[in-house]
Amino acid sequence: MKFNDMKYEKLEVEDIIEKISSLNEKFNKAETKDEVLAVYKEYDEYSKYVQSMYHIAYIRNTIDTTDQYYSEQKEYWNNTFPLIQEASQKFEESLLNSKFRKDLELEWGNIMFLNMELSQKAFSPEIVPMLQEENKLTAEYQKLMASFQVEFDGKTLTMPQLFAYSQSPDKDIRKSAVEAISSWMNDRKLELDRIFDSLVKVRTEIAKELGYESFTQVGYYRMNRNSYDEKMVKRFREGVVKHIVPLTIKLKEQHAERIGVEKITAYDTFFLYPQGNPKPKGTPEEILAHGKRIYEELSEETKEFINFMIENDLFDVLSKPGKAVGGYCAEIPIYNAPFIFANFNGTVSDVNVLTHEVGHAFADYTSKNIYPTALRRYSFDIAEIHSMAMEFLTWPWMEGFFGEETETYYEMHLASALEMIPYGTMVDEFQHHIYEKPDITIDERNTLWLELEAKYRPWLHNEGIPFYEDGRLWQRQTHIYTSPFYYIDYCLSQIIALSFWALSQKSYSDAWEKYLRLTRLAGTRTFVDLIENADLPSPFVPDNLKLITDVAVEWLDKK
């Protein structure tokens, strides 16, 4: 069905809650396994329907923000979501406590139950006031950061606008752009410290109330870590220090040489090529048309998928007045329809939509027949494999975007994928220390960050830039404030994506086969099981990371 023909039905939150509660009652009264299965199926279908209505409203609102009706609908959903979640949680509780649980586990496997247990472990009614406090604080941080505005180059600029100047070939311009950002942050450091102090305090209280030693455990439960623990993540970090960091030092030396500086400072990090970063050729329409060609040629599966997306108008990627900013991939589950939203602007980010977001959409499409729907939901560490690996698996078609700049694009993509890993790992290690010792002072915290910089990014020189040289760069990392322990997910997915890249250098068809197998399994396995099932090296064995860096070094040396 075409997106415009999909019918939106306005729902009232009271009706949704009543429906879920009545299903819950029916579930608890069921006396046979078949009855229980039948009620669950009804719940599954109803949840899909509710989610579809929410996503249709959300998508239509972002396509045309001036449409009053969908703007109101989206707002209504945002306000009522926690109430619906509460009702669903009660239903899940019944599922966990059902006398038929053993039978259900036999039928569906136990991962659904494992995940539900994890989310229950991070919650109890006693912590509700603390959660509200936590939300209030994260909202304060977001509001503070959103208020960013500075006078620069004769204009009033937002953070992304100013960021563009940090890529200028003129060293003085990019230096003053970075200084403008850091001095704005520096003027607000007391506020940033106050919010973070309170966040660490309330999160530690939440952990104590739930009966855990530190917030780290709660953070792991919140992130749905169902197959690896702190010790394994520590081993992963060791592998990063041992194998990825030395390679990134080498890459940064090349970077410095290329742009003609002696050492890389904060204001050089985004200026990568003296001739400018590679840009896709052609109009946004031509870029989109090449995207279609890629998936038609890649495999039978992607061909079917891309035709489904195009026939049903499930792409809205060209810029139009009234559209919201940004890009995303969302699904309308009752039609098994992924939807991709973006604003093409003729830069490399358009290509990213056609590889990264399409990776997410393809994963949705390819797992559409899995039941229960809960098995199609996965944590971020799995979701980002689908997208980041697709970025690499579409390399053979990049020439159609970048022409003579293709080699430069490859190099930029590979280097940025590798360089993001030490940074993300550092963000992760920082948070482990913070929640282990929640009482350390502000200075100790910043010193800790500087020590980690020296360990993970020894090539970076921030002397002379206030705020950065004081060890406060972490205060710009939203996730540290709003989504604790999120960052390592990106790093793990990136490592797996790079494993697919390394494999594709040897045998493309082998890499694609494995990718397809992993994607089709969706959330029916844990992260660790999926990797094992796809026969990929575990990132939790430090020396396995060498398998990737060896191929990368070989590839880079050939250039």
- Which residues bind to Zn ion, rule: CB under 5 A? 387
Nearest distance from C-beta of residue 493 to Zn ion, angstroms: 9
Q: Is the dihedral of CA 536, 542, 543, 547 positive or negative?
A: positive
Report the residue closest to Zn ion, judged by CB.
387
- Please, what is the minimum distance in Å from the beta carbon of residue 394 to Zn ion? 15
Smallest gap from Cβ 330 to Zn ion, in A, equals 12
Q: Which is nearer to Zn ion, 360 or 472 (CB)?
A: 360
In whole angstroms, what is the distance from residue 56 CA to residue 54 CA? 6
Picking from 461, 399, 471, the residue whose alpha carbon sits closest to that of residue 253 is 461
In terms of Cβ atoms closer than 10 Å to its own Cβ (0-12, 13-18, 19+), residue 356 is: buried
Q: Answer for the pair 528, 229: CB distance below 8 angstroms, yes or no.
A: no
The minimum distance between CB 490 and Zn ion, in angstroms, equals 9
Question: In this structure, what DSSP letter does residue 540 have?
Answer: T
Q: Are 368 and 375 in contact (CB under 8 A)?
A: no
| CA atoms of 185 and 446, how far apart (whole Å) | 14
Count the residues in the chain. Answer: 559
Closest to Zn ion by CB, 265 or 387: 387
Q: Which is nearer to Zn ion, 92 or 489 (CB)?
A: 489
CB of 387 to Zn ion, least distance (A): 4
Q: How far is the CB of 372 from Zn ion (least distance, A)?
A: 24
Cα Rg for the chain, rounded, in angstroms? 24
Q: Write out the two tokens for 139.
A: 């909202």
Least Å from the CB of residue 380 to Zn ion: 8
Q: What is the DSSP letter of 266?
A: T
CB 414, min distance to Zn ion, A: 18
Instruction: Specify the residue, 233 or 353, whose C-beta has the smaller distance to Zn ion.
Output: 353
What's the token pair of residue 218? Answer: 């709660």
DSSP assigned state of 229: -
CB atoms within 10 A of CB 82: 10
CB of 98 or CB of 366, closer to Zn ion: 366
* Residue placing its CB nearer to Zn ion in the complex, 47 or 387: 387
Residue placing its CB nearer to Zn ion in the complex, 181 or 495: 495
For the bound state, the minimum distance from the C-beta of residue 377 to Zn ion, rounded and expressed in Å, comes to: 15
Residue number with CB closer to Zn ion (166 or 379) = 379
Angle between helices 508-521 and 380-393 (to 10 degrees): 150
Separation CA 60–CA 57 (nearest Å)? 5
**In the structure encoding, which two tokens stand for residue 149, read together?**
């505005």
Is there a contact between 527 and 496 (Cβ–Cβ < 8 Å)?
Answer: no
Rounded Cα distance between 330 and 397, Å, is 25
Q: Among residues 62 and 387, whose Cβ is nearest to Zn ion?
A: 387
